[in-house]
């Protein structure tokens, strides 16, 4: 692997939220304290060293920043207040930008004006679709209610059109995300190393991907188990809601008022509870700033939390208004819900804060591949 110093790297990293990167004097306490650092994958001190030396390619080839779950133990014990936990967090933003071939991730992470402008742009497009485009095809507001007193949602937001749009959005986002994850794989396993991994090892270790996505066992090794629980509820609620609105929308967006114990309503209630619980812990933690992991919030953290909270609230309002036969309130909530949901999925999922949900399990998988790499 050729070693190329980048004298501008330190200035570049500051744009991703890295604070006093030069405070560290390499005592190694953080690495010793980290519950997730292990032989072969030592962090955070080694990564700080790479940062300070301007070794951008070596950072790009590192999987370690993704193995950190930001428990904050290293920051609490650092004798120099170098805040290694936040340095790792900022590195993840930087690395997301390096993997992203479109360059949008870098734009969104380094300019809140840019990110807000795109969110507003997509929100306006959504509103115009409901106010101008769909009515011109005969889909519009009706005060007529269903036989059981519910709102006729599908006459305003036709299920087939919304479902087709959801699928198109999911395919675009998945393609972008997977292409960037392939670049991550290439950087860590191939580009900057002289090693290779057999096809059999790739197949054998695939279970790690699913297991880590669903359980996040490494996160549970951190001292604060409570945060792991709330994060798990948030992640599971989000995943269920995403699958339901993309894959099972015709089953979910019904006009009939189903009994409260119906699986469709129970699943919706669980996902809503999971999201609200996770969001409550994350927002209150960031407002109180008592725990280290909540003390330094990047603008992208707040934007993601704000958009997700508004998506959940508008989703709850749609449900309440729909089953209580309030058409206008239902339609307005539906437009507001989509105007927040669409930019969140198109921007946050592939390019910004949300993408860590995909990068992390892949990182654990790639780390395992790296352990099994042989010289080529
Ligand atoms: S970040 Fe702090 S604890 Fe870690 S090596 Fe540097 S000075 Fe020591
Ligand atoms: S924040 Fe926690 S998991 Fe991350 S490097 Fe520090 S001690 Fe390790």
Is residue 303 in contact with ligand 2, taking CB distance under 6 Å? no
What is the number of other CB atoms lying within 10 angstroms of the CB of residue 289? 11
**Nearest ligand atom owner, CA of 66:** 2
DSSP class of 41: B
- Specify the 3-state DSSP secondary structure of 209: helix
- Specify the 3-state DSSP secondary structure of 210: helix
Is residue 34 in contact with ligand 1, taking CB distance under 6 Å? no
Distance CA 77, CA 247 (A): 46
Best mutation site among 29, 35, 42, 44 for ligand 2, i.e. most ligand atoms within 8 A of its Cβ?
44
Distance CA 69, CA 220 (A): 9
CB 212 within 8 A of CB 218: yes
For the segment 99-156, what is each residue's pLDDT rounded down to a tens digit?
Answer: 999 999 999 999 989 999 999 999 999 999 999 998 888 877 888 888 889 999 888 8
CB 245 within 8 A of CB 338: no
CB 195 within 8 A of CB 189: yes
Token duo for residue 138: 């005969």
Distance CA 156, CA 54 (A): 55
CB 115 within 8 A of CB 303: yes
pLDDT of residue 271: 95
- Specify the 3-state DSSP secondary structure of 140: coil
Q: Which helix (H) or strand (E) holds 189?
A: none
Token duo for residue 60: 């790009």
The per-type count for the chain, helices as H runs and strands as E runs, is: 20, 2
What is the number of other CB atoms lying within 10 angstroms of the CB of residue 207? 11
**Nearest ligand atom owner, CA of 22:** 1
Give nearest CA residue, ligand 1 atom 6. Answer: 24
Each residue's pLDDT, cut to its tens digit, for the chain (376 residues) gives: 566 778 888 888 888 888 777 889 999 999 999 988 888 888 899 999 999 888 888 898 999 999 998 888 899 999 999 999 999 999 999 999 999 999 999 999 999 899 999 999 999 999 999 999 988 888 778 888 888 899 998 888 889 899 999 999 999 999 999 999 999 999 999 887 888 899 999 999 999 999 988 888 887 777 677 888 888 999 999 999 988 888 888 888 888 899 999 999 999 999 999 999 999 999 999 999 988 888 888 888 999 999 999 999 999 999 999 999 999 999 999 999 999 999 999 999 899 888 988 999 999 999 999 999 988 8
DSSP class of 253: S
């Amino acid at each position: 692997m050729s070693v190329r110093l980048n004298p501008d790297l330190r200035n570049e990293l500051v744009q991703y939220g890295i604070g006093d990167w030069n405070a560290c004097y390499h005592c190694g306490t953080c690495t010793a304290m980290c519950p997730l650092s292990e032989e072969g994958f030592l962090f955070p001190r080694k990564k700080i060293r790479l940062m300070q030396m301007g070794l951008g390619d070596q950072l790009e080839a590192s999987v370690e920043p993704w193995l950190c779950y930001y428990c904050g133990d290293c920051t609490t014990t650092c004798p120099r207040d170098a805040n290694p936990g936040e340095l790792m967090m900022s590195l993840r933003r930087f690395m997301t930008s390096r993997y992203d071939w479109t360059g949008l991730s870098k734009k969104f992470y380094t300019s809140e004006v840019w990110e807000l402008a795109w969110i507003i742009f997509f929100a306006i497009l959504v509103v115009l679709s409901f106010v101008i485009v769909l009515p011109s095809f005969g889909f519009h507001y009706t005060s007529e209610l269903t036989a059981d007193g519910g709102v006729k949602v599908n006459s305003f937001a036709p299920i087939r059109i919304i479902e087709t749009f959801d699928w198109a959005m999911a395919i675009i986002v998945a393609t972008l995300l997977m292409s960037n994850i392939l670049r991550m794989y290439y950087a860590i396993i191939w580009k900057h190393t002289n090693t290779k991994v057999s096809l059999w090892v790739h197949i054998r270790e695939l279970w790690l991907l699913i297991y880590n996505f669903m359980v996040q066992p490494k996160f549970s090794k951190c001292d604060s188990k409570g945060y792991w629980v709330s994060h798990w509820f948030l992640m599971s609620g989000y995943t269920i809601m995403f699958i339901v609105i993309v894959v099972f929308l015709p089953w979910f967006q019904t006009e009939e008022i189903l009994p409260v114990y119906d699986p469709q309503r129970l699943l919706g209630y669980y996902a809503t509870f999971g999201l609200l619980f996770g969001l409550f812990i994350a927002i209150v933690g960031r407002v109180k700033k008592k725990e280290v992991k909540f003390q330094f919030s990047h603008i992208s953290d707040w934007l993601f939390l704000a958009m997700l909270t508004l998506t959940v609230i508008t989703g709850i309002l749609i449900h309440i208004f729909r089953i209580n036969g309030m058409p206008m309130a239902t339609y307005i909530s539906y437009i507001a819900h989509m105007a927040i949901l669409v930019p969140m999925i198109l921007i946050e999922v592939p390019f910004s804060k949300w993408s860590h949900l995909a990068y992390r399990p892949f990182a654990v998988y790639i780390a395992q591949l790296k352990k099994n790499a042989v010289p080529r």
